[in-house]
Amino acid sequence: MVENRSAAFFDVDGTLSATRSTTSLMWLRARQHSPWRHRLWLANLVWGAPLAFLTDKLSRDLADRLVFSQFAGLSLSRLIADAGECCRSVLMPSCFPDALAEIEMHKAAGRKVVLVSGGVAPVLQPLADALGADLIARGLEAEGDRLTGRCGHFPLLDDSSKSWGQAAAKALAVRRYAETTGIDLAASYAYGDSINDAEMLGLVGHPTVVNPDRALDRTAKSRGWPARRWRP
């Protein structure tokens, strides 16, 4: 039997699930802070929401840095210990049924399934494990057991990649993953919802946009990529 050397790469937030970068963060911070302190943090988050929205529209990378900064001071060991329950309570229930069916279809065909996210590995690893998938995501920097609020680099990339844009870093991480695992990208599939996923989508022979933002929708139409609408 010939080994299947193709893979299916799935972005997470907005593609695999109806989550955003702050979804897990809010849940995990609540586990480490007192109720009043968490309510104060949520109030500040609400006041800063318009700025965060504008930042995300102008620069996804700057928006990511704002999100990562909110991890500062949290215990890394506690975050890792709580990540499994976060997956069961928050992430898995937020996954689109059509996305889960698509994953099962690829697994039945013998393809590797890989989650690719600009989020952080300690939070997303339980989700990857639950789906039987590999994970490409960034680490979180810590001093001792305390998170600094700065993100690490993608696996297979060196520390200099932290200064790159998310789109380029994700695409190169996928390419390096394919090189090290023997995956044929031309025979592979990829799914994304944001223009930041366009470089990754362009690497594979079978790209699909899911719930695309306007910029990715225009790119998909110009390049003839199929589009899907996945809902909770």
- What's the predicted TM-score (pTM) here? 0.86
Q: Is residue 57 part of a domain?
A: yes
Q: Is residue 97 part of a domain?
A: yes
What secondary structure does DSSP assign to 112-181, as a single string?
Answer: EEEEEEEEEHHHHHHHHHHHT-EEEEE-EEEETTEEEEEE-PPTTS-GGGGGS-HHHHHHHHHHHHHHHH
CA angle 84, 106, 97 (to 5 degrees): 55
Q: Is residue 47 part of a domain?
A: yes
Q: Is residue 107 part of a domain?
A: yes
- Which CATH number do you get for residue 119? 3.40.50.1000
Q: How many domains does the chain have?
A: 1
* Structural domain harbouring 121: 7-228
Backbone CA torsion sign across 23, 199, 125, 129: positive
Q: Is residue 2 part of a domain?
A: no
Q: Is residue 1 part of a domain?
A: no
Q: Is residue 53 part of a domain?
A: yes
Q: Tokens at residue 169, please?
A: 């870093």
Angle between helical axes of 121-131 and 76-86 (0-180°, round to 10)? 30
- Each residue's pLDDT, cut to its tens digit, for the chain (232 residues) gives 346 799 999 999 999 999 887 778 777 777 776 665 656 555 565 555 555 444 555 555 666 667 677 777 788 899 899 999 999 999 999 999 999 999 999 999 999 999 999 888 889 999 999 999 999 998 888 898 988 878 777 877 766 555 567 788 899 999 999 999 999 999 999 999 999 999 999 999 999 999 999 999 999 999 999 999 999 8
Tell me which residue has tokens 């994953």: 103
Q: Is residue 122 part of a domain?
A: yes
